[in-house]
Amino acid sequence: MLIRHLRFSGVAALLSLTAFVAAQPDRVNGRPGTTRSEVIAPHGMVATSHPLATQIGLDILKAGGSAVDAAIAANAALGLMEPTGNGLGGDLFAIVWDAKTKKLHGLNASGRSPLGLSRETLVAELAKLNRTTIPPRGMLPISVPGTADGWFALHGKFGRLPMRDILAPAIRYATEGFPLTEYIGYLWAISVRNAQADKFPGAFLATYAPAGRAPAKGELFKNPDLARTLTLLAEQGRDAFYRGPIAETTDAFMRVHGGYLRREDFAAHSSTWVDPVSTNYRGYDVWELPPNTQGIAALQMLNILEAYDLRALGGYNSPAVLHLMIEAKKLAFEDRAKFYADPAFAKIPLRTLISKAYAAERRALIKPDRAALAYEPGSGPQLRDGDTVYLAVGDRDGNMVSLIQSNYRGFGSGITVPGTGFTFQDRGEMFTVSPGHANDYAPGKRPFTTIIPAFITKDGAPWIAFGLMGGAMQPQGHVQIVTNLIDFDMNLQEAGDAARWHHDGSSDYNNPKMIDGGFVEVETGIPYDAVRSLMQKRHDVRIGNGGFGGYQAVMWDAKNRVYYGASESRKDGHAAGY
C-alpha cells in the first residue's frame, strides 16, 4: 500500500510540478512564483476578494468615510457579487484598530440557534433523515444571521458617513447588474447544481439561476430582491432586519415549510464586543478573536513552533519545517475539537490553551522523524469545507479593519426566503450532537465557527490586518502567512502567493477521533523532495485541488507612512489604494 501510494503521489507531484514551473512568470525581481508587486499608497488601502468591491471601498474612503465605512460598503457588495461565500444570511467577525485610542476592538457578530428548536426535537428530526450529525443544507443548520447587526454595531462605534451612502453602491449594482468573475462563476455553477438536486422550498433558483442555469463569466447578474432588502436597511436601520419586514417574512416562510427560525430569534439577537487575544511570536503580537471562533488554534500553533529555529531547519517549505507545522496543527486541532465553543455555555481554559507553558507540554509530543497517527487533547486545562470572504481596510487617519464574513458552505443552507435576495447560512451544521460536549447543540447557542480575522502589532503599534478564509484552512493559513513574513522575510504579496499546505482529518464534529493521522494536501509549488520526505515520515500526502484559502492583507509602514496591500492570486481578489 505504501509503495503504491508513493508511486501514485510521486508521479502526480512530478507532473504537476513540471506544469507549475513552466507556468511561472518571468519577474526580474522578487521571489519565484510571486504573481505581482505589492500595492503601495499613502492615504488608504482596500483589499477584498472582488475588484469591484475593492473599488467601492476605495470610493468610500475618498468620500471621507472611515475604514469601517469602507469595510461595510465592500462587504455589502461582496454579498451581492460573491454570494458563493457570504451575504446577509451569514455571520461576521471583525478586529478594528482605533488610531485615536491606539487600541484593538473585536466584534463577534455571529448568530445563535433557534430558541424553539429543542435538542430533543433536533435529534428526532435527524432520526427522520437517518443522520447523527446536522446536515449541511436545508432548514436544520440555519441559525440567526448576524451580519446586518454587525454592520450597524461597527458603524455605531466607528462610522462617519450615513448608511444610505455606504450601502448605495451595492444597491446600484444589485439593480443595474454586475459581471460575474471567473472563480466566483465556477463556484456559483456548483451551487446551482446542488440546489437543483436538493429541491428545497423557497426562491434560491429563482434568485440565483433566473434563466434556469447559473450565470456564466462575464454575464451581467441582477438581484432586485437584495436591492430592496439593502434599501430597507439603508432607510430603516438594523431593525428592518431584526424587528421588521425581514424577520416577519422569514417567520412566515419557516412556519409553512418546517423551519424553526422565528421573529423572536431575530428580536433577541445582538452582537458582542470582545477583547481580541494574542500571543507574542518572535517580538510580534499576533491577535485573534476568542471562541466561539477557532482563532486561538493559530496562536497555539505559533506557540509550539516558536521554540524551533525554522530558518536553521531549512526554511520555507523544507521537509523538517513542514513536518513540524503539520504536527503543531494536529495538536492544536485536538484541543479545538474538545474545547472551542460558545463561552456562554461552556467553560473554556483560554489562558491555559494559549500559554507558552502549555505549548511546551504539547511540543514535547512531536517526534521529529515520524508523523503521529493520533494525539489526545490536553487534559489539564469541527469543518473542512468552508466558503467565506475576508477583507482588510486602512484609512487616512490610521484606522484599520480586519473583517471576515461567511455563509459557511458556499451559498449556505440553500434556503432563500422569497423576496429577500439572500440565502441563510448553514453554520449550525458545526454543532455536535454529543451530550456533555462543549459544542453540543442547545437552543439560543452560538455554534463553533471557523471564520477568523487576524491582526499583527509590533511594540503596541499596528502592522498588518490580514486573513485567509477557507474553513479549517484558516488557522493553518494564518500560521503560514505569519511565518512567511517573520521567519522567511517575504513581503506582503509574496507571503500570500507562496505555495501552501493543508492538513485535514483531525478530530472534529463529524470525525470524533483522528486515528490515522489524517492527510496533507500540498500545492504543486512545494518541492517534490519535501513531499517525498514527508511521505517517508509516514505523512499521507496528496496533491490538492483548491481548498488552500483566500488571502487579503493591508500593512501600515510607519516609517514611510504608507499602506501596503496584497490580495489572493488564486481567486478573483484585488488590492487598491490612493
- Pairing between strand 277-281 and 284-288? antiparallel
Which residue of the set 388, 420, 423, 450 is catalytic? 388
CA-based nearest residue to 421, from 170, 208, 209, 216: 208
Helix (H) / strand (E) containing 356: helix 356-363
Query: Quick check: is 279 catalytic?
Result: no
CA 362/CA 380 separation, integer angstroms:
11
How far lies 332's CA from each of 20, 60, 427, 550, in Å?
32, 40, 22, 22
CA 2/CA 8 separation, integer angstroms:
10
CA 507/CA 512 separation, integer angstroms:
5
Q: Which amino acid is at 217?
A: K
CA 88/CA 230 separation, integer angstroms:
9
Q: Is the alpha carbon torsion for 295, 75, 409, 553 positive or negative?
A: negative
CA 267/CA 318 separation, integer angstroms:
52
Q: Can you point out the beta strands (E) in 100-259?
A: 103-109, 178-179, 220-221
Angle between helix 147-158 and helix 67-81 axes, rounded to 10 deg: 160
What residues does 97 pair with on adjacent strands? 104, 400
CA-based nearest residue to 395, from 63, 76, 122: 63
Q: Which amino acid is at 434?
A: S
Active-site residues, by number, are 388
